[in-house]
Amino acid sequence: MDVLPQENKEPMLVVKDLHVSFAVMAGKVEAVNGVSFSLEKGKILGIVGESGSGKSVTNYSILQILDKNGHIDSGSIRFEGKELIGMPEKELREIRGNRIAMIFQDPMSGLNPVYTIGNQLIEAIRTHDKKISKKQAFDASVEMLRKVGFNEPEKRMKQYPFELSGGMLQRAMIAMALVMKPDLLIADEPTTALDVTIQAQILDLLKDLQKEYGMGIIMITHDLGVIAQICDEVDVMYAGRIVERGTADEIFYHPAHEYTKGLLASVPTLEEKELNPIKGNPVNLLDLPKGCAFAPRCAKCMEICLKEYPDEIGVGPTHRVSCFEEVRKLTEEGIIDPMLPPQGKKPTKAPSPTSKKFEKILTKGLETGKEEKNV
C-alpha cells in the first residue's frame, strides 16, 4: 500500500475523478460523473445540491457501502495517503469502524434494532479504545447523549431504537458517530429531522468537537443555512458533478453558476411565502447529455453548452466554476485572453497555454453568446 512520506503530506482525504454507476433494468444510472475534491484535517466541507445530484452516493463510495448494484467505475479515493478503492475488506472495516464515521440520512441504517442505545454506544467506544473499562465507556456514552441534547441520558441508554422518535434516533446516531472520535465525519443531512434549537445545539457541538479532535467533516445538506454557519468550503453538485466550489462567502455572495443561483433563490424567506424551485426537471441519469447537464434548464444556455462539458475555471481566489457563460463573461472583460485575432488580424504574440485551452470553447462561446438562447 502506498503511503506518502510525512514531510510531503497530502490532505487527509483526496477524491479524484470519481465515477460511480448503478446497474438497473433500464440500463446504467450514472450517479457520479467525475467528482474531485479534497479535505484537510480540521476543516468542514459542505456539499449541496438538488435531490438525486449524487451527494450520498459520492460519500457512500468513500466508505464503499454502495448498494449491491452500485459500482465504482474509476477514480481514486485516498484517505491519509492510502488508496481506499481496492483496499481489502478487512482493512476497510478497520477504517470504517475507527477512522471514518458516518451519520446516515436514514437514522435506522446507522443503528442496530436489536441492541439498546447504551449497548451500541459502549460497544462503539470499546471497539475504538480497547483499554477503556465498561464503566468508563458507560459514563462517556451518557455524557455524549447529554451533549447531543438528551435530558435523561441514563434512561435513553436502556432504550431500543424503536422506542425513540425520528429526531431522537438522529441524535442517537450522531452520538454513535462522535463517541468514536473519528478523524473524518461524514454527516448526511444530520439535522433535517431536528427542530431549530436542537439543530443549533448539534451544529455547535460539531464545531466544538471538530476543534477538539481536529476532525474533518463532510456535511451534506439541503439546508443552505447550515452550510453558511459552519463550512470552510462549499461544493455544489448537479448530475453527479461538482459544478461550483468556493468558500461559503464566495458561493453565497457571488454565485457564478446559474444552478447555484437557482438553489439560493429557492431558499424560502420570511417575506416570500411561496417556494421558488428551479424550473425544469432534473436530468435523466440513464441518458446523460454530452454537454452541461444543467443546460436544458439554464436561462443562459448557449449552443456550446449542449455540446461540450466546460472545464472548471477560477473566478475568485478559491472560487471555481464549470460554466461556459462564466468563460464568456471573463473573456469579454479581458480576464481570459483567448488570443482571437481582432477583426481578422493575426495575434501579435503566441497564445498562452490557458488561452490555447480555451480558444476553441471561446470562439464558439462568443459566436453563440451574443444571442443567448433559452432552450
Ligand X SMILES: Nc1ncnc2c1ncn2[C@@H]1O[C@H](COP(=O)(O)OP(=O)(O)OP(=O)(O)O)[C@@H](O)[C@H]1O
Determine the residue type at 367: E
**Closest separation in Å from C-beta 50 to ligand X:** 7
Closer of 58 and 322 to ligand X (Cβ): 58
Q: Which of 21, 33, 53, 56 binds Mg ion (CB under 5 A)?
A: 56
Closer of 72 and 361 to ligand X (Cβ): 72
Residues 266-325 that bind ligand X (CB under 6 A): 285
Q: Which does 2 bind (CB under 5 to 8 A by kind): ligand X, Mg ion, none?
A: none
Closer of 44 and 179 to Mg ion (Cβ): 44
Q: Which of 204, 176, 202 is nearest to 190 (CA)?
A: 202
Q: Which residues of 114-131 are buried (b: 16+ CB within 10 A; e: fewer)?
A: eebbbebbbbbbeebeee
CA distance 33 to 93: 26
CA distance 102 to 110: 8
- Site for ligand X contains 67 (CB under 6 A): yes
Number of residues that bind ligand X (CB under 6 A): 17
Residues 15-54 that bind ligand X (CB under 6 A): 22, 24, 29, 31, 49, 51-54
Provide CB contacts within 8 A for 236, sequence distance 6+: 48, 49, 242, 243, 244, 245, 251, 257, 259, 260, 263
Closer of 66 and 366 to ligand X (Cβ): 66
The count of other CB atoms within 10 Å of the CB of residue 265 is 13
Stretch that binds ligand X, among 67-75, 168-176, 177-185, 266-274 (CB under 6 A): 67-75
Specify whether the CB–CB gap between 31 and 285 falls below 8 A. yes
- Site for ligand X contains 57 (CB under 6 A): yes
- Site for ligand X contains 165 (CB under 6 A): no
- Site for ligand X contains 70 (CB under 6 A): yes
299 sits in which H/E element: none
Closer of 259 and 324 to ligand X (Cβ): 259
Closer of 122 and 242 to ligand X (Cβ): 242
CA distance 232 to 216: 11
Contacting residues toward Mg ion, per CB under 5 A: 56
Contacting residues toward ligand X, per CB under 6 A: 22, 24, 29, 31, 49, 51-57, 67, 69-70, 105, 285
